[in-house]
Structure formats: C-alpha cells, structure tokens
Amino acid sequence: MRNMGKAIILSTGLLLGGEIFAPVVPIGMGHAEAASLAHFKTSTYQTTANLKMRSGAGSKYKTILTIPKGKLVLSSQKLGNWYKVSYTYKSKGKTITKTGWSSGSYLKKKTISLAKTSVPKTVKFTKTTYYTSANVNMRAGANTSKKLIMTLKKGKTVTSNEKNGKWYKVSYAYTSKGKHVTKSGWVSGSYLKEYYRFTKTNGTYYFTNKTTKLYSHADKKNKYEYSIPAYNGFYSSQKVVNSIGQTWFRVSHNGKNLYVYSGDVSKASAKTFAKKDYQVKNSTYVYSSYGSVYKHLVSLPKGAMISTTQSVGAWYAVTYKGKKGYVPASAVQTPPKENNSVKEEKVTEVAKTYLVTADLNLRKSANSSSDRLSVIPNGSTVQSTTKTGSEWYKVTYKGEIGYVYGSYLKEYSQNADYRFIDLRSKSSVTAGQINNYIAANVNGRPSVLVGKGQAFIDAGNKYGINALYIAAHAIHESAFGTSSISLGKNNLFGYGAYDAAPFFGAYRFSSVEACINYVAQKMKADYLNPNGTHFEGAFLGYRTNDKNGTRITSKSIGMNYWYASDPNWGNGVARHMNNILKFDKSYYNKAAINTYIPATPGIPAGSDKLPVNIQVVAKKDLSSVIKKGTNFVMLEKTNDFRVKVLVESKQYWIDNIRFSVYKDYISVFNLGRVTISTLNVRQEPGKEIIGYLHLNNYVELELDKDKKVISETKDGIKWYKVKLSNGKTGWASSSYIARELK
C-alpha cells in the first residue's frame, strides 16, 4: 500500500520548467491514510490538551466527544499519528466507556505504578445492614466477569462486613418453599444504601446517664449537635435501629429533632400523686423542662416553699411566681416542723436502725437553722436511741454526734447476717469456694455453673459489687445452674421471663459470663444505686406481704422490697452466701464501700430462632399488614421482643406483642420445646429411631388441615408428629415436649 501510494504521486506529478509539482492533497487524505494500521501492547496515555475523539483516524471524521486535558485513555492501535483510544468516565452515577480515534500530538504516554494497578484489598468492617436501591446482580466474585448467583430485587435487605474496592460481600436471607435460605456473594456498592429501621413507640421519658451527645442522625458519623450533662431528660415516641444494629431514640432539643444513643440514657416515668409541699434547701431555678440544660424561668431562693402533684424522673413539676416548670428533687426537702422552739423531750429507747432515704444534713442541734456538721449520704444506715418531740433524731455518723430530721429516715429491723451487709463491699470469697459449693449440690444434673466461680469474682471486681452475693443470687434463681432457662439460654436470673411465657420470653445470653456481668452491672446501677429507680437500701433486706400478697411498704426494705414478691427471697440468697462462706460480722463492720456507679445496661443482644414453619394467627391488628385474623409464620424473637414474621412470602419485623399477656395478641399452633436431654424421634410411634432432638431445642409440630397438632396414642403413650431440621418427619413422645405459646 505504501509503495502504491508513492507510485500514484509520481505518476500524477506535472513537469513544469524542469520541476516536479505534487497535486494538492485534500484534508484528511495525507500520510495517515497512506500508513498501515499498527498494533502494540495496551498502554496508558494522558491528554495534554482538550482532545477530540473522532469516529475515524482523521480530522474529517465525526466528533464523538471531547476528552478534557489531563485525562487517561488506553490504546493498543495506531494509524499514522492517530491512536485508537478508549476513555472511561462517569455520568449521572453510571460508568461509561467510549472508543474512537484521537491525534497522537496531544497524547503523552503514562507509566502506571504497580501500587496503583494492584488488585484492591479486602477490607473488614462492622456488620452492617443495607437495602438494595435497584435490582442488582449478586456474583461469585468482586467484578462483573464472575458467575451470576442471583438477582436481588430493589428494596431487599442484606448484611455485609467485608468489601473489596466498590464491591461488597453480602448475605441475603429469604424463605423458599417453607425453608430458610441464605445466599452469599458480591454486589456493587453503587446499589446499596444503609438500612435504618424507624418505629413509633409509646411516649417514653429518658434521662442521660452521663455527659451525652445528641446527633442529627441515628449514628455517630457526623459531629454531634449538642453535649448534654447527666440527669437531663427527654421525651421520645420514636426509636431507630441503625444499620449496625444500634438502637437510638428521636428526641427534640432547641427546636430540632435529634437522636440519642440508647446506651447513654435510662428510662424514667412520669408520676401523679397527692399534693406535696417542699422547701428549697439549695438555691436553684424553675427550669422550662426536666433538666438543667433547659431555660431558667425564675430563680428559686433557699427556703422558698413550693407544692407539686407531678414528677418526671427526679424532677418535680411546680408553679412559682406564675411560672410553670420543673425543679430538681435534689434541691428540695420536706419542710421541718415549725415548732423548733419547743423544749426537747428526749426519750431513751433501745437503739433503732434507720435507712437514710436522701442526702441528709447532720446538724449540731435539733433545728433546721443549726450549724451543719456533715451530710449523711442517701442509702446509709444509722442508729438512734433518742428522739425529740419535734421529730429530730440524735445519731452518730463517722464519729460525729448530731441531729437529723426524721422525714428522711426509714426504720427497719437489722440482724447480724448477710441480709444486712452493704452489697457494695468486697467479699473475701474465692472462686474455689464457689465452685465447691455448686459441685456439691448439682447432684449429677447438667449445670451451666460448674466451674464458673471466677466469673463471679471478675464481675465483682469490675462493677464494685459483692461477688459472694452475685454468686448466691445466681445459684438461688437458677437452682445451681440447672434450670431450663439457664441451660437453654445461659440466663441465670430469669431476665425477660414472664409468668405467661417463662422460657420463650427470657433473654438469651451469648455466655454464662455475659449474663453474670449484665446482672452485676444492672444491680449496681439500679438496685444498689442511691439514685436508682429501685433503690431501697444497698442490702438484701426483707419483704412483708399482706394476706393478698401485696407488699406492706412500712415493713419492707432492701432489694427484697422491689426485686422479688417472695418475702423469703432475701433469706434464700443470704442462706446460700452463708453456706459458701460463714458470715463474719467484724469483717463487714470494717469493709470499704465501692460507690462507683456504672451506666444502666440496655437489653443484651440475642434472639430465639424458630423452626421454619411455626404457624400463628393474629388476635388483634399487629401492623398495617398483619390484621386481626391474619395467618403468618413466626421466624425469630429478639431479646427486646421484636418478632420476625413471614406473611405471604415477605418478611417483616413487628415489636408490639406483649408476651406477658401474649394470648391477647396471638395464638401459636405448633411450637414445641424438648424437655429431656435427648429425645428419640421415630419413624412411627414405638418403631425404629430416625433422629434425635436435644434439651430445649425448639421443634415444629406437624398440623392437619384444621391447624390442629397431629397426634396418635399407642399403648397408652401419646405421640406428636414432628418435623426435623433436615425436612424429615417422625414421631416423638408428647411427655417430653412442652407446648410454647399455646
């Protein structure tokens, strides 16, 4: 072709005056067209100016687009000085590649380092839930050339904790033909959005446990909006479970809707009561709401008198000088009786023991204007043999003798035993002593507490709580770790269990140690905390009930006041403590008190996953989808009583079933639970064994067309037809299967 071109030029030249003249060559018909197409290894080039990409190798061809200066293109072919290039760019969120011809005069070869061209590394991150923003392909690897596994439709939820470049390794769970299926593979991150689940709740008050941040979204990705000190309250009617599983509450502050992390706040209640009069003991303000961060409406001077009929948490609703607002309970006191000028009538009695129910001034004499010697902390125990006619008591506290006002004292009977030690003191018990006591009492039964003595010691040290007490508490509640709930759910204390549904309702803990730590923290933050909702003294104490089983307030004290309706609960725990380590009065008279107060723990993570076809019918409207009378499948119940359900092949979460009265909400037809260590499943009643079920396994009971459990009685034994996890059906003795949520 090149030789032919030369020949044509020579043959058409004109000889004029002895010179050879070549004819005019039209634009675009020069040397480029005469050159041959050259191929070479794909190389990267950078544009040195705005450069037109054309449909052919010449300036006469149509312009496809203009490549901006500094962009990278790929080429492996050239024709003369024209290069066939590929240019990749993004437009409206989509990746586009165009191919055409550009002049080599404006291309500069670019060397790409190995570091920049290496394959992206796989990165691990916190497990996150996403939803698909469009139909997206799931592939076997992190690029479009990998095998297609399935196509996820728009709006499906997936989880991921691993990415490679812009690709995410996801898991997608769904139900097909009555079976749970999970698929895993890679999808482009361009089609994933983080999934946040918003739920309306009954209006609830929450107070900050410590200095707490408020955020514009239910996560900590952006800078916080406000930093709020401890003991400030908010009202919330919406909760959010964010993409990494954290629960947040929507609150309002300074006219903005903001979010607070559930782990930073504690629930409080609003109460209405008969009118009470208080005197301001420390100058304060009437605040516009229940917290010191709110607006000051008016000053409240020391000694001012106020009245209230309502409280929110530890704040009283008051009206003062025409301003309606809130004052902190810590700033007021019951007014002392005014007849302080009456001569004291001292009565000498046998020493009586009193619980101090508020931070209480110890004064030099029996008068509210007398000099203050010290402050006796809320929750302290004092004794007195002397009472004045004006309700003042003479006491000794830390070597100082003075007077305290009787409105903040609660009399109780104290004995020298474990029921009355301060449970914030450290025990001298060893892990071996706890282990030996448990081992000696399980009597061959399976127990999750065998060898767990050190877990109680560690929890005691971590939270500043008596390790002997927390061990005895667990032993008492779990029958030495042999109860069904402890064996099946590592739940030693029955947390979450309702009388109506004890096993199903109970929290599931990841380990025995996690349960021990959770309850140790809970007890120290609430029942043993002078500012806790359930504080009635930092000791076991006792409870007295009337003939109807109702607590007699004046004759009940300590943890037994709130924690258990059983009047002998405190005695039972104390008995285990004494059996492990004999009570030593002199030791506890000198034992230091650990006043550290941890945050109140939220509900622990955990859930009960059920067999694939547990049939339920709604007895009232449960959601916009599940109306009264709707039949659905229950798949899972979380510790915070959220329930995953399957309705017409679609999964939903609902959270409004109250399992304390579950019969008002649902009827469950075929959920069973194994109550024996190993249960034989037989092909036919009394015939050969085809499988086994184990203690506390949930089991699906087969139903007939009327949704009644299929059963058969043979030789006096009643048998249930059951379905195994492998899909096979068989028969098991009904004597060893408990019907859950029947």
Looking at residue 304, its pLDDT comes to 82
Which residue type, as a one-letter code, is found at position 338? E
Looking at residue 368, its pLDDT comes to 79
What CATH fold (topology level) applies to the domain 35-114? SH3 type barrels. (2.30.30)
Averaged pLDDT score across all residues of the chain: 89
Listed in sequence order, the residues at least 6 apart from 202 whose beta carbon sits closer than 8 Å to its beta carbon are 237
245 vs 17, residue with greater confidence: 245
- Split at pLDDT 50, 70, 90, the class of 568 is very high
> Is 340 a residue whose pLDDT tops 80?
no
Neighbours of 517 (CB within 10 A): 21
What CATH fold (topology level) applies to the domain 671-739? SH3 type barrels. (2.30.30)
Looking at residue 113, its pLDDT comes to 55
CA distances for 201 relative to 237, 238, 601, angstroms: 5, 5, 20
The size of the chain, in residues, is 742
Report which of 25, 118, 32, 16 is spatially closest to residue 83, judged by C-alpha positions: 32
Separation between Cα atoms, residue 288 and residue 294, nearest integer Å = 6
Looking at residue 335, its pLDDT comes to 77
Separation between Cα atoms, residue 440 and residue 443, nearest integer Å = 7
Report which of 120, 122, 121, 126 is spatially closest to residue 161, judged by C-alpha positions: 126
Mean pLDDT on 605-627: 94
| Identical fold between 197-268 and 347-412 | yes
Strand partners, 519: none
**Contact indicator for 421, 468 with CB cutoff of 8 Å:** no
What CATH fold (topology level) applies to the domain 270-333? SH3 type barrels. (2.30.30)
Q: At 579, which helix (H) or strand (E)?
A: helix 569-580
Pairing relation of β-strands 360-363 and 372-376? Answer: antiparallel
Residue with structure tokens 């007699």? 552
130-148: per-residue pLDDT in tens?
Answer: 999 999 999 999 999 899 9
Separation between Cα atoms, residue 242 and residue 644, nearest integer Å = 17
> Is 25 a residue whose pLDDT tops 70?
no
What proportions of the chain, in percent to the nearest 5, are helix, strand and coil? 15, 45, 40
Q: At 258, which helix (H) or strand (E)?
A: strand 256-261
> What is the architecture, at CATH level 2, of domain 418-590?
Orthogonal Bundle (1.10)
680-698: per-residue pLDDT in tens?
Answer: 999 999 899 999 999 999 9
Report which of 27, 36, 45 is spatially closest to residue 87, judged by C-alpha positions: 45
> Is 506 a residue whose pLDDT tops 90?
yes
pTM, entire model = 0.57
Looking at residue 224, its pLDDT comes to 93
Looking at the chain, the whole-number percentage of residues with pLDDT higher than 70 is 92
Mean pLDDT on 569-588: 96
Separation between Cα atoms, residue 406 and residue 376, nearest integer Å = 13
The CATH class for the domain spanning 120-194 reads: mainly beta
> Is 35 a residue whose pLDDT tops 80?
no
Looking at residue 292, its pLDDT comes to 93
The values of phi and psi at residue 569, to 5°, are: -60, -50
302-329: per-residue pLDDT in tens?
Answer: 878 888 989 999 999 999 888 899 999 9
Domains of the chain by residue range: 35-114, 120-194, 197-268, 270-333, 347-412, 418-590, 607-668, 671-739
Among 3.20.20.80, 1.10.287.130, 2.30.30.40, 3.40.50.300, name the CATH number for the domain at 347-412: 2.30.30.40
Residue with structure tokens 């040290």? 461
Looking at residue 587, its pLDDT comes to 96
376-406: per-residue pLDDT in tens?
Answer: 998 899 988 888 766 789 998 988 999 998 8
3-class DSSP state for residue 224? coil
- Superfamily the domain 197-268 falls into: SH3 Domains (2.30.30.40)
Looking at residue 346, its pLDDT comes to 55
The values of phi and psi at residue 687, to 5°, are: -95, -160
Burial status of residue 657 (CB atoms within 10 A of its CB: 0-12, 13-18, 19 or more): buried
> Is 20 a residue whose pLDDT tops 90?
no
- Split at pLDDT 50, 70, 90, the class of 514 is very high
472-499: per-residue pLDDT in tens?
Answer: 999 999 999 999 999 999 999 999 998 8
79-131: per-residue pLDDT in tens?
Answer: 989 999 999 988 888 889 999 999 999 999 987 654 444 556 889 999 999 99
- Split at pLDDT 50, 70, 90, the class of 667 is very high
Looking at the chain, the whole-number percentage of residues with pLDDT higher than 90 is 71
3-class DSSP state for residue 434? helix
Looking at residue 735, its pLDDT comes to 95
Which residue type, as a one-letter code, is found at position 644? K
- The beta strands (E) that lie in 133-230 are given as 136-139, 148-152, 157-164, 167-176, 179-188, 192-194, 197-208, 212-214, 226-228
Tell me the torsion sign for CA atoms 250, 253, 254, 258: negative
Rg (CA), the chain: 39
Report which of 314, 230, 231, 330 is spatially closest to residue 271, judged by C-alpha positions: 314
247-298: per-residue pLDDT in tens?
Answer: 999 999 998 999 999 999 999 988 888 888 888 888 899 999 999 999 999 9
Separation between Cα atoms, residue 46 and residue 74, nearest integer Å = 9
**Contact indicator for 344, 390 with CB cutoff of 8 Å:** yes
